[in-house]
Amino acid sequence: MSKKNKLAPYMKKKLISYLINFLLVVAGFVVINVLTTLGVIDRYIAGILTMVCINIILAVSLNLVTGILGQLVLGHAGFMAVGAYTAALFTIHSGLPLEGFGGAITFLLALVLGGLVAALFSVIIGIPALRLKGDYLAIITLGFGEIIRVLILNLDFTGGALGLRNIPGMTTFNWVYILAALTVYIIYSYMLSRHGRAVLAIREDEIAAEAAGIHTTYYKMAAFVMAAFFAGVAGGLYAHYIGVIAPSKFNFNYSVEILVMVVLGGMGSITGSVIAAAVLTILPEALRAFSDYRMLLYSVVLILMMLFRPGGLLGRSELSIAGLGRWIKRMAQRFAAWLRRRKNGEKAPKKDKKSRKKGEVQ
């Protein structure tokens, strides 16, 4: 009994924040659905939102390996391709129902299967690459991405360069929204556990992590395989959304595009990846008005970002409601101080920033 009482405050605080986040996700879901029925969100916007969700899954899963584990992966689109083709071939050839409730089950099976096959590939790549210390994974995944693309191009059952056609369009906005939310939750909750701490320790110092009793190869594999799984799921969603998939879509450029989202959002920041994925998916569409200059503007935005926030939008920190509250409070205090100074006609104290930093250390 006493044990339960001791547990309560620790758990309660966490559970409340989970509940708030859950309600926010539900609210977002309801709002978008209402707007769709009202006709505010047309098919064009709905399409962009779907791609946003798919890119969120890709960016967050890549962040698990590149930002949190600290291993560069240059072939994330390769895992996505494996998932996309596996899932698409499954729904086309399995003969299972495609409509109604049965269709939902078939789709779910296809997505999970796509994820599992992608994960299987990551195991095959990871075993030799992750037993070593250092950046071998970057080179191996780079090669993997290209091999997969060329392989798909030359196999018969994948449709070659023409691509795979007539994939049933089962991906709706509700599917991608729920799965994106689920992916973020799973990776986030995994991070805030003993497993996540072990993964972070490897990023910080692999030798020290091992000396602290962490089975480094196991945790590196776990993070990498998990990331590949979600990339596979995202691939399945993509295939059933677009309807036609060709190997050229899953090229090196797309891998880099996902990587840019991770870097821009902040390596190791999951919420940062979510925001960056959304911004970088919407940005090219929003810049359509500038037609010819749109890729130029896109690049300029990226360069400016890296100049002014080299650590990414959020750096290593996460966006949270509690954090936002603290930030608003701090800003309000600063504003109040500014107002006071203005009233008294003083100048801003110059040492402000320095003294604050000193205070933090002590």
Partner 1 sequence: MALLEVKNLGIAFGGLRALKDVQITIDNGEIVGLIGPNGAGKTTVFNLLTDVYLPTEGTIELEGNSIVGKKTYEITQHGIARTFQNIRLFKYLSVIDNVKIAMNSQMKYSGFAAVLRLPSYWKEEQRVEEKARELLRVFDLEQYAETRAANLPYGQQRKLEIARALATDPKVLLLDEPAAGMNPTETLELMETIKLIRDRFKISILLIEHDMSFVMGICERLVVLDYGMIIAAGDPEEVRADPKVIAAYLGGE
Q: What is the smallest separation between the CB atom of 14 and partner 1, expressed in angstroms?
A: 8
Coil, strand or helix: which one is 266?
A: coil
DSSP code, position 288: G
Q: Cβ neighbours of residue 169 under 8 Å, at least 6 residues apart?
A: 240, 241, 243
Q: Any contact of residue 69 with partner 1 (CB under 8 A)?
A: no
Q: Any contact of residue 204 with partner 1 (CB under 8 A)?
A: yes
Helices 43-63 and 76-93, interaxial angle, to 10°? 120
Nearer to partner 1, 18 or 338 (CB): 18
Q: What is the smallest separation between the CB atom of 164 and partner 1, expressed in angstroms?
A: 32
Q: What is the smallest separation between the CB atom of 114 and partner 1, expressed in angstroms?
A: 20
Q: Any contact of residue 210 with partner 1 (CB under 8 A)?
A: yes
Give the span between the Cα atoms of 233 and 229, in whole angstroms: 6
Phi, psi of 345 (to 5 degrees): 70, 25
Which of 104, 186, 246, 282: binder of partner 1 (CB under 8 A)? 186
Give the span between the Cα atoms of 360 and 358, in whole angstroms: 5
Give the span between the Cα atoms of 177 and 246, in whole angstroms: 24
DSSP code, position 243: S
Nearer to partner 1, 215 or 330 (CB): 215
How many Cβ atoms sit within 10 Å of the Cβ of residue 74? 22
Give the span between the Cα atoms of 222 and 126, in whole angstroms: 10
Which of 13, 131, 165, 197: binder of partner 1 (CB under 8 A)? 197
Q: Any contact of residue 1 with partner 1 (CB under 8 A)?
A: no
Which of 1, 2, 10, 356: binder of partner 1 (CB under 8 A)? 10
Phi, psi of 275 (to 5 degrees): -65, -45
Residues 291-330 touching partner 1, rule: CB under 8 A, are 316
- Sign of the CA dihedral with 57 first, then 59, 60, and 61 last: positive
Nearer to partner 1, 348 or 361 (CB): 361
Q: Any contact of residue 7 with partner 1 (CB under 8 A)?
A: yes
Q: Any contact of residue 356 with partner 1 (CB under 8 A)?
A: no
Residues that bind partner 1 (rule: CB under 8 A) add up to a total of 33
Q: What is the smallest separation between the CB atom of 116 and partner 1, expressed in angstroms?
A: 16
Stretch that binds partner 1, among 91-99, 214-222, 229-237, 273-281 (CB under 8 A): 214-222
Helices 216-242 and 100-130, interaxial angle, to 10°? 140
Stretch that binds partner 1, among 116-124, 188-196, 249-257, 291-299 (CB under 8 A): 188-196
Contact (Cβ atoms closer than 8 angstroms) between residue 54 and residue 172? no
Contact (Cβ atoms closer than 8 angstroms) between residue 258 and residue 55? yes
Which of 194, 288, 350, 351: binder of partner 1 (CB under 8 A)? 194
Contact (Cβ atoms closer than 8 angstroms) between residue 53 and residue 178? no
Stretch that binds partner 1, among 122-130, 158-166, 191-199, 284-292 (CB under 8 A): 191-199
Nearer to partner 1, 10 or 308 (CB): 10
How many Cβ atoms sit within 10 Å of the Cβ of residue 50? 22
Which of 154, 189, 253, 333: binder of partner 1 (CB under 8 A)? 189
The site for partner 1 (CB under 8 A) is made up of 6-7, 10-11, 18, 185-186, 189-190, 193-198, 200-201, 204-205, 207-216, 222, 316, 360-361
